A and B are shown apart, each in its own frame.
Chain A
């Protein structure tokens, strides 16, 4: 059955892409604008749902047999002895990815129908979405690194097409057309990704050179075999391979050093941000590393240290952890609603990469899945807010300035944003200086500044109190934000906590070494940042006081947009049960409704029975039997959980089954390093044997504190009705006196905030934004280290090689040669009869001489 239906995974999306690609415009323009759009959109959506159906069928088929199924589609190419068949590998790991990609993807398709309503290129958008789905499925199902690479490049292409989707926008920002900015962003993403791809190619070449194959199974088997046989050169080679794979993953999954493209990618339509740059495409790097778990574990086991410092798995963990914290810090300083989420995505991907580096592959996949749920939710919620703000802004245009009593708000913000509306870090970080300058001129010109095109519907400073106008969006957004922050019952808590617990356990009780210690601290700090910036965003967008007239006219988005949000909100709420802590069969009848129950019912002494996935060392002789039993017993419940989650149903049917660490049992057969650990060939870092209470409580408390802190500090004083919104920063109008006076009037805490914390925060954000991110990273690293040599090299190639040698020497040389010859020959064709006669005469003379003398 798997053999029969697997190809349809690829067929459905590509058919959808072809239909919309060739006939989309015609479909879109027939039967009135709305109807045509709906037909075109639903073609794409149904194709996506069909792929989702196939994914579910595959998932069900894998319940009882977990071995990888290789589905050969056709022979791709044969070079000598090197045969590359086009094969799909369907196993439990890819089935999880398939469910996420097609499931979340389908919801986003529905959302896009509502979001892209009225766009003249509606059908083109759905063509690209389906095309992206097609390539993503190739990536996930490929049975070799080479096929994976095809999908890898394909999603890069789809990403490029979609980021630059609005390349023809002709609104001007700072004298540059927005369309140009959009296409610049798409090119940036494309080029940054190519850097990562270069390393992918290196990894694959090295793999082929060493093992003679790029098939997952063959490479892993060869590597294991070589390692067992004690091949001396193998650790070095595998270290290089995994290093290159890591660099490849940093490109696609937006980690240091290649993360810069992801925030810019927000130029694309919001469904794209949700689909690719949060939920699916960026996770392909995680998938790649999880897929290569055998190679990583062999390197870890061999202990080969790069430059004598770190092994590559440790490097992976460090990369992820540093990125997580770094991006988390930047996210706290952003004002663009989508950029906060973009940096948050970078940060969360860092968590996953760190988990992979620590050997917590299941935790990484778990976080990948839950993150897909709530980040897609957050992005689409943000899209809904943006939509509402745009609607409100249009309303303003149509109905004049609106109410008088709101005039002041608009006035202030119109000025406030003259400088700040410009995209880019400079402006976002320098917002406060803009505030300083605005006040003097603010009251002079009483024109309609507030409805000018400076309005940026994505700027959180324009928002505020949206909860009053968009209740549905607000509700689901809060759920998503809590899930991301890691507050207890929500999905994000379970997955993030599992990563933190793993890190913490290994540095407390394990033999992980200093790396785990550092990673734990970095990740904990990143988790605090996460809660803080999400709280800040909630406060700025949904709570407080309206700060722009457009907000008053914001309205709830249409059904196509809200419905997927609700589904994702349910998933974000319940996603945690995907990998619920182990729960013995006897307790299975207990209600699943209480999330804390598995912890509680385990009690004090029995904690060891409730261990979360103790496959680290509790296996012994009957390892295989163990795994088999698990597979048989758990398959039922695993499916029930995952399916429930996937469908967003209530999970009441699951009551009959026992709770297990569902995802871990599901994935275990697909991750060979588990098996190799049982055979004592490699040793996965130990997973926590008991519930890590300390970590769970500590991270929860920290998250709650950070959330509260953000609500307390951000826009402090602006949520009271008595304050006018144009008193944006009274502190800054008269730097010394005013701050003193206001300080006296305020509570001491306010003074503390205004006088100490706020400048510190500003300086800090300036540091993060200007020094760390913009000046150092963009200007120095990218301009000097990458751009300049690249320009020099391309100049060399183009001027010297191409124009000089190829054009001048070869192409023009041939031309010159021909012209020279023809210059001689053309004298014979002068057109003067006497010249021909001369020829004739000479010929006759020649003949005569020949006959006479010869």
Chain B
């Protein structure tokens, strides 16, 4: 009972992922949405690490590095976009970003 089994990790990852997903769905602020996305990615990373440890396989650990890299790149591009939009519109509310809407 004292041992932290794989189930705990999965539960924590599910909670983190749900919080991230909820954030993406309900928040309007672009920055918070980015943070929520990070939360979801990190929930995935946590699962990778946990299963790598559980299965005694390093592949999962290596995947995490790739994920973090991609996430960093994404945030770099996304934040650049957000800054640029903020300059134009004085707002990072995603509902205002409807210029491309038909």
Which residues of A pack against B, CB within 8 Å? 831-834, 837-838, 841
The answer to whether A834 touches B101, judged by C-beta atoms less than 8 angstroms apart, is no
* B99 neighbours in A (Cβ, 8 Å): none
Is B24 located at the chain interface by the 8 A CB criterion? yes
The answer to whether A832 touches B95, judged by C-beta atoms less than 8 angstroms apart, is yes
The answer to whether B101 touches A841, judged by C-beta atoms less than 8 angstroms apart, is no
Tell me the bound Cα distance from A482 to B98 in angstroms. Answer: 94
Tell me the bound Cα distance from A838 to B24 in angstroms. Answer: 9
The answer to whether A838 touches B98, judged by C-beta atoms less than 8 angstroms apart, is no
* B98 neighbours in A (Cβ, 8 Å): 831
- Chain B min CB distance to A838 (Å): 5
Tell me the bound Cα distance from A831 to B99 in angstroms. Answer: 12
Tell me the bound Cα distance from A223 to B4 in angstroms. Answer: 111
4 shortest interchain CB distances as A-B pairs: A834-B25, A838-B25, A831-B101, A841-B21
Tell me the bound Cα distance from A832 to B96 in angstroms. Answer: 10
Beyond A831-B98, A838-B25, 11 extra complex contacts between A and B, CB < 8 Å: A831-B101, A832-B95, A833-B94, A834-B24, A834-B25, A834-B26, A834-B94, A837-B24, A837-B25, A841-B21, A841-B25
Tell me the bound Cα distance from A706 to B26 in angstroms. Answer: 105
13 contacts between A and B (CB under 8 A): A831-B98, A831-B101, A832-B95, A833-B94, A834-B24, A834-B25, A834-B26, A834-B94, A837-B24, A837-B25, A838-B25, A841-B21, A841-B25
Q: How large is the interface on B (under 10, 10 to 19, 20 to 34, 35 or more residues)?
A: under 10
- Chain A min CB distance to B35 (Å): 15
* B94 neighbours in A (Cβ, 8 Å): 833-834
- Chain B min CB distance to A598 (Å): 98
* A834 neighbours in B (Cβ, 8 Å): 24-26, 94
- Chain B min CB distance to A358 (Å): 85
Q: Which residue of B lies closest to A834 (CB)?
A: B25
Work out how many contacts link A and B, with CB atoms closer than 8 A: 13
* B26 neighbours in A (Cβ, 8 Å): 834
* Contact string against A for B residues 6-42, beta-carbon threshold 8 Å, 1 for contact and 0 otherwise: 0000000000000001001110000000000000000
Tell me the bound Cα distance from A834 to B95 in angstroms. Answer: 10
- Chain B min CB distance to A546 (Å): 83
* A841 neighbours in B (Cβ, 8 Å): 21, 25
- Chain A min CB distance to B95 (Å): 7
Q: Which residue of B lies closest to A842 (CB)?
A: B25
Tell me the bound Cα distance from A832 to B25 in angstroms. Answer: 10
Q: Which residue of A lies closest to B101 (CB)?
A: A831
- Chain A min CB distance to B29 (Å): 12
* A832 neighbours in B (Cβ, 8 Å): 95
Q: Which residue of A lies closest to B26 (CB)?
A: A834
Tell me the bound Cα distance from A834 to B21 in angstroms. Answer: 10
- Chain A min CB distance to B99 (Å): 12
Tell me the bound Cα distance from A233 to B25 in angstroms. Answer: 86
* A838 neighbours in B (Cβ, 8 Å): 25
Tell me the bound Cα distance from A834 to B97 in angstroms. Answer: 13
Tell me the bound Cα distance from A841 to B17 in angstroms. Answer: 11
Tell me the bound Cα distance from A831 to B101 in angstroms. Answer: 7
Tell me the bound Cα distance from A838 to B18 in angstroms. Answer: 12
- Chain B min CB distance to A836 (Å): 10
Tell me the bound Cα distance from A260 to B101 in angstroms. Answer: 69
* A831 neighbours in B (Cβ, 8 Å): 98, 101
* B21 neighbours in A (Cβ, 8 Å): 841
- Chain B min CB distance to A826 (Å): 15
- Chain A min CB distance to B36 (Å): 11
- Chain A min CB distance to B42 (Å): 18
- Chain B min CB distance to A179 (Å): 53
Tell me the bound Cα distance from A831 to B100 in angstroms. Answer: 11
Tell me the bound Cα distance from A837 to B98 in angstroms. Answer: 16
Most buried by A among B21, B95, B101: B21
Tell me the bound Cα distance from A834 to B24 in angstroms. Answer: 7
Tell me the bound Cα distance from A572 to B95 in angstroms. Answer: 95
Q: Which residue of B lies closest to A833 (CB)?
A: B94
Tell me the bound Cα distance from A833 to B24 in angstroms. Answer: 10
* B24 neighbours in A (Cβ, 8 Å): 834, 837
Tell me the bound Cα distance from A831 to B95 in angstroms. Answer: 10
* A833 neighbours in B (Cβ, 8 Å): 94
Q: Which residue of A lies closest to B33 (CB)?
A: A834
* B101 neighbours in A (Cβ, 8 Å): 831
- Chain B min CB distance to A847 (Å): 15
- Chain A min CB distance to B8 (Å): 18
* B95 neighbours in A (Cβ, 8 Å): 832
**B64-102 residues at the A interface, CB under 8 angstroms:** 94-95, 98, 101
- Chain A min CB distance to B54 (Å): 19
- Chain B min CB distance to A754 (Å): 92
- Chain A min CB distance to B97 (Å): 10
- Chain A min CB distance to B85 (Å): 15
* B25 neighbours in A (Cβ, 8 Å): 834, 837-838, 841
- Chain A min CB distance to B51 (Å): 17
Tell me the bound Cα distance from A834 to B101 in angstroms. Answer: 14
**B38-54 residues at the A interface, CB under 8 angstroms:** none
Tell me the bound Cα distance from A841 to B94 in angstroms. Answer: 19
Tell me the bound Cα distance from A99 to B24 in angstroms. Answer: 95
Tell me the bound Cα distance from A837 to B95 in angstroms. Answer: 14
Tell me the bound Cα distance from A837 to B27 in angstroms. Answer: 13
Q: Which residue of B lies closest to A844 (CB)?
A: B21
Tell me the bound Cα distance from A539 to B21 in angstroms. Answer: 107
Tell me the bound Cα distance from A611 to B94 in angstroms. Answer: 112
Q: Which residue of A lies closest to B97 (CB)?
A: A833
- Chain B min CB distance to A672 (Å): 81
Q: Which residue of A lies closest to B28 (CB)?
A: A834
Q: Which residue of B lies closest to A835 (CB)?
A: B25
- Chain A min CB distance to B40 (Å): 11
- Chain B min CB distance to A136 (Å): 65
Most buried by B among A833, A834, A838: A834
Tell me the bound Cα distance from A831 to B98 in angstroms. Answer: 9
- Chain A min CB distance to B46 (Å): 18
- Chain B min CB distance to A830 (Å): 10
Tell me the bound Cα distance from A838 to B95 in angstroms. Answer: 15
- Chain B min CB distance to A17 (Å): 57
Tell me the bound Cα distance from A838 to B26 in angstroms. Answer: 9
- Chain B min CB distance to A158 (Å): 58
- Chain B min CB distance to A78 (Å): 58
Tell me the bound Cα distance from A841 to B25 in angstroms. Answer: 9
Q: Which residue of B lies closest to A841 (CB)?
A: B21
- Chain B min CB distance to A558 (Å): 73
- Chain A min CB distance to B48 (Å): 18
Tell me the bound Cα distance from A764 to B25 in angstroms. Answer: 95
Tell me the bound Cα distance from A841 to B101 in angstroms. Answer: 22
- Chain A min CB distance to B98 (Å): 7
- Chain B min CB distance to A844 (Å): 9
Q: Which residue of A lies closest to B22 (CB)?
A: A841
Tell me the bound Cα distance from A841 to B21 in angstroms. Answer: 8
Tell me the bound Cα distance from A121 to B38 in angstroms. Answer: 85
- Chain B min CB distance to A592 (Å): 96
Most buried by A among B24, B25, B94, B95: B25
- Chain A min CB distance to B45 (Å): 19
- Chain B min CB distance to A10 (Å): 63
Q: Which residue of A lies closest to B21 (CB)?
A: A841
Tell me the bound Cα distance from A837 to B24 in angstroms. Answer: 9
- Chain A min CB distance to B22 (Å): 9
Most buried by A among B24, B26, B98: B24
Tell me the bound Cα distance from A293 to B98 in angstroms. Answer: 86
Q: Which residue of B lies closest to A832 (CB)?
A: B95
Tell me the bound Cα distance from A278 to B89 in angstroms. Answer: 86
Tell me the bound Cα distance from A727 to B21 in angstroms. Answer: 108
* A837 neighbours in B (Cβ, 8 Å): 24-25
- Chain B min CB distance to A832 (Å): 7
Tell me the bound Cα distance from A841 to B26 in angstroms. Answer: 12
- Chain B min CB distance to A689 (Å): 99
Tell me the bound Cα distance from A833 to B26 in angstroms. Answer: 11
- Chain B min CB distance to A263 (Å): 68
- Chain A min CB distance to B21 (Å): 6
Tell me the bound Cα distance from A566 to B101 in angstroms. Answer: 85
- Chain B min CB distance to A352 (Å): 77
- Chain A min CB distance to B37 (Å): 11
